[in-house]
C-alpha cells in the first residue's frame, strides 16, 4: 500500500531524444511561433497540447509539430502521471502537460532582450527556477485545472466585444496574511490559485479563483471562507481597488455533490464580521465541466451558483 501511494504521486518525465529524431527535429531553427509557444507555457506554467493549439495562431498540426521540436531539443519538458500511463488502471487519454526547461527559459529571455532593443525598452525578465521541473502529480493536475480555466477564459473574451481581461496573477505574489481582530489578533492566510480582473464599459470586476479537487476538509474550507470575508472588507483591499465592491470569489470543483457540500458549509457558517457590503453572495460556485475549450463562451454563461440562492439563480461571469 505505501508503494502504490508513492507511485500515484510520481510523474513520468519524458526524456528528449534529439538523436533518434534528428532527421525531423535535429536542425531546429526558431520561428516566431516557437517563441509564442514558449511564452505561453511560461505564462501559464503548465499547459496541455490542446491548450497550446487553442491559444496559438496557425494550424493545430503545425503547432503540434513545433511542440515536438521544442521538446526533443530540450526547450520544454513533458509530464504525465505514472498511473495514468496504464490504460488498464485508468482508461482514457493520459494527462500530457508541458513545462518550460532551463534552455527554453534562456531562449525566451534572449528573445525578449532582442525585442526590447528593437523598441529601445527594458526586457521583461523570465523568472524561472530549476525546481519548476520537479513537481508531484497532485501539483501538476491542480495547475492544469487552473490553466484550463484561464485558457477558456481568454478564448471566451477574445470572442466577446467590449470585454477584456485586464490582469491575471498567480503564485505566491498573490498570497496574503489577513489579521482577524479579537482579544488577541490572529492571522489567516489568503492564498488564491489566481487573481484576475475583467473590464467592461469602463467598469472593472475583480475575481479570486479557487480550484477544488475535493481534497480539502471542512475545517480548512471554513478558514478559507473566513479569511476571504475579512480580507475583502479590509482597508488594504479597499485602498488598492477603486471598484472594491465589484468582487467575487470563484470556487470551481469537479463534482455536483461536492459543490453542494461546499455551499452548505458556507450557508451554515455565521457571518464573522459586520461588513458594509459583501455577504455569502460574494462566493460563487461552479463545476469544471460546465465550461470547455470547444465552447469557450460557456464560461461566461449563467453557470455560477451562490449559497444564498443555490437552486433559483445562476450568475454570469460579467462585470
Task: Give the helix/strand (H/E) hosting 257.
Answer: helix 256-267
pLDDT digits (tens, 9 = 90+) for 116-139: 887 777 878 888 877 776 667 778
Higher local confidence (pLDDT), 9 or 192: 192
Q: Model confidence at 315, in pLDDT bands (50, 70, 90)? A: confident
Q: What is the pLDDT of residue 214?
A: 81
Interatomic CA distance for residues 24 and 267, integer angstroms: 58
Q: How far is CA 111 from the centre of its chain?
A: 25
Q: What is the pLDDT of residue 204?
A: 93
Asked if pLDDT for residue 28 goes beyond 90, the answer is no
pLDDT digits (tens, 9 = 90+) for 239-294: 888 888 899 999 999 889 999 999 999 988 887 776 665 678 899 999 999 999 99
Strand partners, 78: 98
Lowest mean pLDDT among 8-17, 33-42, 130-139, 233-242: 8-17
Q: Model confidence at 199, in pLDDT bands (50, 70, 90)? A: very high
Lowest mean pLDDT among 28-32, 73-77, 232-236: 232-236
CB crowding 224-241: b at 16 or more within 10 Å, else e: bbbbbbbbbbbeebeeee
CATH architecture of 137-300: 3-Layer(aba) Sandwich (3.40)
Average pLDDT of every residue of the chain: 83
Q: Residue ranges of the domains in the chain?
A: 2-133, 137-300
Lowest mean pLDDT among 42-51, 90-99, 158-167: 90-99
Q: What is the pLDDT of residue 105?
A: 92
Most confidently modeled of 36-50, 176-190, 301-315? 36-50
Pairing of strands 11-13, 203-211: unpaired
Contact in structure between 142 and 211 (CB atoms under 8 Å): yes
Q: What is the pLDDT of residue 278?
A: 61
Q: What is the pLDDT of residue 14?
A: 56
Asked if pLDDT for residue 213 goes beyond 60, the answer is yes
Asked if pLDDT for residue 295 goes beyond 90, the answer is yes
Q: Model confidence at 211, in pLDDT bands (50, 70, 90)? A: very high
Asked if pLDDT for residue 90 goes beyond 60, the answer is no
CB crowding 262-279: b at 16 or more within 10 Å, else e: bbeebeeeeeeeeeeebe
If you average pLDDT over residues 8-12, what whole number do you get? 50
Share of the chain above pLDDT 70, in %: 82
- pTM metric for this prediction: 0.86
Lowest mean pLDDT among 26-30, 31-35, 241-245: 26-30
Q: What is the pLDDT of residue 94?
A: 55
Pairing of strands 97-100, 47-48: antiparallel
Which CATH number is 2-133 given?
1.10.10.10
Asked if pLDDT for residue 20 goes beyond 70, the answer is no
Interatomic CA distance for residues 146 and 168, integer angstroms: 12
Q: Model confidence at 33, in pLDDT bands (50, 70, 90)? A: very high
Amino acid at each position: 500500500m505505501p508503494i502504490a501511494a508513492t507511485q500515484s504521486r510520481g510523474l513520468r518525465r519524458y526524456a528528449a531524444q534529439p538523436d533518434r529524431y534528428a532527421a525531423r527535429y535535429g536542425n531546429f531553427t526558431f520561428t516566431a511561433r516557437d517563441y509564442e509557444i514558449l511564452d505561453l507555457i511560461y505564462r501559464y506554467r503548465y499547459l496541455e497540447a490542446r491548450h497550446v493549439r487553442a491559444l496559438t495562431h496557425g494550424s493545430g498540426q503545425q503547432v503540434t509539430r513545433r511542440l515536438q521540436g521544442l521538446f526533443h531539443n530540450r526547450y520544454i519538458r513533458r509530464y504525465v502521471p505514472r498511473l495514468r500511463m496504464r490504460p488498464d488502471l485508468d482508461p482514457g487519454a493520459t494527462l500530457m502537460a508541458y513545462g518550460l526547461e532551463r534552455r527554453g527559459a534562456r531562449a525566451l529571455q534572449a528573445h525578449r532582450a532582442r525585442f526590447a532593443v528593437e523598441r529601445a525598452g527594458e526586457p521583461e525578465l523570465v523568472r524561472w527556477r530549476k525546481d519548476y521541473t520537479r513537481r508531484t502529480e497532485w501539483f501538476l493536475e491542480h495547475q492544469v485545472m487552473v490553466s484550463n480555466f484561464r485558457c477558456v477564459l481568454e478564448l471566451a473574451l477574445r470572442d466577446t466585444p467590449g470585454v477584456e481581461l485586464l490582469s491575471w496573477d498567480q503564485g505566491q505574489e498573490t498570497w496574503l496574511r489577513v489579521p482577524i481582530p479579537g482579544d488577541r489578533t490572529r492571522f489567516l492566510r489568503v492564498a488564491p490559485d489566481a487573481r484576475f480582473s475583467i473590464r467592461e464599459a469602463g467598469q472593472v470586476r475583480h475575481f479570486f479563483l479557487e480550484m477544488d479537487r475535493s481534497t480539502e476538509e471542512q475545517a480548512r474550507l471554513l478558514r478559507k471562507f473566513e479569511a476571504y470575508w475579512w480580507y475583502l472588507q479590509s482597508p488594504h483591499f479597499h485602498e488598492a481597488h477603486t471598484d472594491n465592491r465589484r468582487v467575487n470569489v470563484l470556487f470551481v470543483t469537479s463534482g455536483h455533490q461536492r459543490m453542494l457540500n461546499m455551499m452548505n458549509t458556507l450557508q451554515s457558517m455565521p457571518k464573522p464580521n459586520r461588513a458594509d457590503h459583501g455577504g455569502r453572495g460574494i462566493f460563487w460556485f461552479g463545476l469544471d465541466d460546465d465550461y470547455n475549450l470547444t465552447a469557450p463562451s460557456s464560461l461566461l454563461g449563467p453557470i455560477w451558483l451562490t449559497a444564498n440562492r443555490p437552486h433559483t439563480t445562476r450568475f454570469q461571469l460579467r462585470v
